Structure 1
Amino acid sequence: MFFNGEIVVVTGASQGIGRAIATEFASYPVTLILTYNRNEEKMNHLLNELEQSGQAKVYAYKVNIGNEDEVKELFKTVKTKYGKVDILVNNAGITNDGYISMMSNKKWDEVIDINLRGTFMCTREAVKQMMSKKSGAVINISSTSGVFGSKAQTNYAAAKGGMISFTKSLALELADYNIRANVVAPGFIDTSMTKSLPKDMVADVLKMIPMKRFGKPEEVAGIVTFLASQKASYITGKTFTVDGGLING
């Protein structure tokens, strides 16, 4: 068994990759705390589904990951009601694409605040609890855009690339406390984000992917739960791309 009784926090869990990660964790006997910001209806639907089919005790909280007070309140609540966090998955993220010559400060700041600053704040609050237990795992969901860049996504690529460097330093800092930190960097995954891409762009992208298809959210969730488990107890500071071979090396 991968898990038994752990306290797991997954941010941005109402849809897409976050939803798949939540569903994967819910198949184990854990206490699962999920966050969402806008999609309350989708989160309620997910909660009903997991209560019927999963083994986990599942709870959801509306949190703006870019708001420090809300993040602190979340982790205070988790500690008081359920116990100290064992596993944190920083999945919450947004895009707001545009060419650099036309990108406003607001557009830049919004993406950095949620994707990078939000990851920092959630991790800071979670590892305070993990350090006292001298155990834990942090998995940060980045992107292949953060590995090799992406046109018209300087803000997103900067945030996701920053998450990778952040995690490498985090792994070094927390190794003495038996806390591991790793990154999963998905490529093109079949979510609402990729469904909005123009057909000609999709065709061009598929030509670049050796496996000639987009990934499934469940294919990302599998490696996340592996890295969170004791099966990966000697893995830290690493970045794993899930991209059908798009990045080779």
Structure 2
Amino acid sequence: MENWLANKSIVIIGGTTGLGFSAAKAFVRNGANVVVVGRNPENCLVAELHLGNTARAKQGDATHPQTALDAIQLCIREFGSFDGLYHVAGGSGEKFGDGPLHELSLEGWNKTLDLNLTSLMLSNQAAIRTFMGMNKGGSILNMSSVLAHAPAAQHFANHAYATAKSAVIGFSKSIAASYASKNIRVNVLTPGIIEGLENSTEASDKFIKSKQPLDGGRYGLPNDLDGISVYFMSDYARFTTGQIFTVDGGWEITDGQY
């Protein structure tokens, strides 16, 4: 395969498991240097082992202000450049009290927004400041969710999560507009429901099968997003910014059977 990302050095926030780790492997296969950031030290070790000598792993909490900046500085120190940021970190706030609005706790709201939105603002801010400081362009890719714009009330009524993922789109378009003249590109991926869902039930599994009917009807897999994430980090996307790209197995255009 052609090295789409030769000479690119990329930081992935949330890059030691799931979607982020799958992307990291694809980036390395395509010639990139990567720094992956994860909360769990063991996952960091495993990631570094798997990814080889053009990758570094750093332990850190994405909601802490210094985490992304430290990772970007590590990237520059180790690989001499910083060309792209992929922000994947986030997740369900159910255990904190996210849920339908009539049951949603204030802690659930705050923690879910912190996990999915504040962390992303911090990493994007660190990337923008670095690109501007180096007087160069670059690519930012942010992670939203199909639930931001195509809800499914019966099985996926986590309203703080939907709010955060919707806000990722507004935030990304807004900063894409502000920094396009500096050749900084900002785009968004909205995946469907990915395997490994917490609290899945037989009913929700059945619903997913009918709502995401492509490829036999199934949950999304982390590597379903690899191709498009490589594209957005590459020079093939040099004239593309402020775009939302959905990889959802047909979720958005399918009824789904309850």
TM-score (structure 2 length as normaliser): 0.87
1:208-232 deviation digits (Å, cap 9, x = unpaired): 2232222221111211111111111
Pairing of 1:30-109 with structure 2 (within 5 A): 30-37=32-39, 39-51=40-52, 57-97=54-94, 98-109=99-110
SS in 1 for 2:251: coil
Distance 1:245 1:193 in 2: 18
Q: Report the CA distance shift for 1:232/1:70 in structure 2 as closer, same or farther (over 3 A).
A: closer
Task: Report deviation, 1:247.
Answer: 1.2
* 2:174 maps to 1:169: yes
Q: CA RMSD in A?
A: 1.9
Distance 1:81 1:25 in 2: 17
Q: Report the CA distance shift for 1:208/1:59 in structure 2 as closer, same or farther (over 3 A).
A: same
Corresponding position of 1:210: 213
Pairing of 1:180-195 with structure 2 (within 5 A): 180-190=185-195, 192-193=196-197
Question: Which amino acid is 2:13 matched to?
Answer: T
| Larger displacement relative to structure 2 (233-242 or 141-150) | 141-150
Q: 2:240 aligns with which of 223, 235, 241?
A: 235
SS in 1 for 2:252: coil
Task: Report deviation, 1:16.
Answer: 1.2
Identity %: 26
Q: How many residues align?
A: 242
* 2:249 maps to 1:248: no
* 2:32 maps to 1:27: no
* 2:164 maps to 1:199: no
SS in 2 for 1:10: strand
Distance 1:80 1:44 in 2: 20
SS in 1 for 2:102: helix
Check whether the contact 1:6–1:31 (CA below 8 A) recurs between aligned residues.
yes
Query: Which consecutive aligned stretches of 4+ in structure 1 deviate over 3 angstroms post-superposition?
Result: 69-84
TM-score (structure 1 length as normaliser): 0.90
Which sections of structure 2, spanning at least 5 residues, go unmatched?
none
